[in-house]
Amino acid sequence: MAKAIFAGGCFWCMVKPFHKYDGVDQVISGYTGGHTENPTYKEVCSETTGHLEAVEVTYDPSVITYEELLEVFWRQIDPTDGGGQFNDRGQSYEPAIFYVDEAQKQAAEQSKAALDASGRFSKPVAVDIRPAAPFWPAEEYHQDYYKKNPFRYQMYSVGSGRAKFVKEAWKDHGKEQELKQRLTPIQYKVTQESGTEPAFRNEYWDEERPGLYVDIVDGTPLFTSKDKFNSSCGWPSFAKPIAEDKMEVNLDTTHGMTRTEVRSADADSHLGHIFDDGPKELGGLRYCINSAALRFIPVEELDSAGYGEYKKHFE
């Protein structure tokens, strides 16, 4: 295992982005770069310790490279803001990359130079690259904050301006154009613009054949007909996904409601919402999913479609 240390403003928002990648074993929130030992959150926030809020990523370099981690890091921050990140201002929120050896230093410098030269931002990249210093884990209540306090985490991510910036600044315009050409208008509106198709007037709300439902964008298997049930809501409803790690959940406060949005983890497609009014004998959840976000593959076509390994779900 190897370690990488990144400071990107509030460490609450820097854990989840790394956690979802294969090869990442652990992400710890903490403090580094300062001159005091065992600092507390209150001390670091006082701007008297010299420490930055940071995360220490433990990873398997045979599965995910340091260069790939750098790409994840850049896409969570505003690289041109050296005075803090979003609503969090001050020295303790400054962005920085802490290298643990010469190879990481060179990789970080090359990655920073490439981002500067890309022209993505009109201002220069303002992220420091520094030698690693002692890393002090933060208090336990800060660890995995997005899991312990999902509502507050999402409100903070949105309220600070981070969520909107990341979505707009790092938009892949090439992918955007490709998807506009490949998807139908309603498929694009649902998956890329978080739209909703009409109830009872969509492709799979009353589909009863056995089969597999995959992400319309990248083909990732998401649900099977074994977990599909009739909820009378007018959209396909599932009790659970094939694998929890293929899903991302977010707080959705649009349209004057508070709901739990569900997105596909790999393609970041908006799928629908999760409710707690599903059949209790199936776990009590209802994954209310837009047909336009899915492609249905009948059991008899799984082999020809390249999904033969999923026939075991129907045995």
- Cβ neighbors of 210 (< 8 A, separation 6 or more) are 225, 226, 298, 299, 314
Q: Is residue 10 annotated as a catalytic residue, yes or no? A: yes
Task: Give the span between the Cα atoms of 268 and 161, in whole angstroms.
Answer: 19
Q: Is residue 45 annotated as a catalytic residue, yes or no? A: no
Task: Give the span between the Cα atoms of 220 and 228, in whole angstroms.
Answer: 17
Q: What is the 3-state secondary structure (H, E, C) of the chain?
A: CEEEEEECCCHHHHCHHHHCCCCEEEEEEEEECCCCCCCCHHHHHCCCCCCEEEEEEEECCCCCCHHHHHHHHHCCCCCCCCCEECCEECHHHCCEEEECCHHHHHHHHHHHHHHHHHCCCCCCCCCEEEECCCEEECCHHHCCHHHHCHHHHHHHHHHCCHHHHHHHHCCCHHHHHHHHHHCCHHHHHHHHHCCCCCCCCCCCCCCCCCEEEEECCCCCEEEEHHHEECCCCCCCEECCCCCHHHEEEEEECHHHCCEEEEEECCCCCEEEEEECCCCHHHCCCEEEECHHHEEEEEHHHHHHHCCHHHHHHHC
- Cβ neighbors of 31 (< 8 A, separation 6 or more) are 39, 44, 49, 51, 52, 53, 54, 135, 136, 138
Catalytic residue among 13, 45, 233, 288: 288
Catalytic residue positions? 10, 288
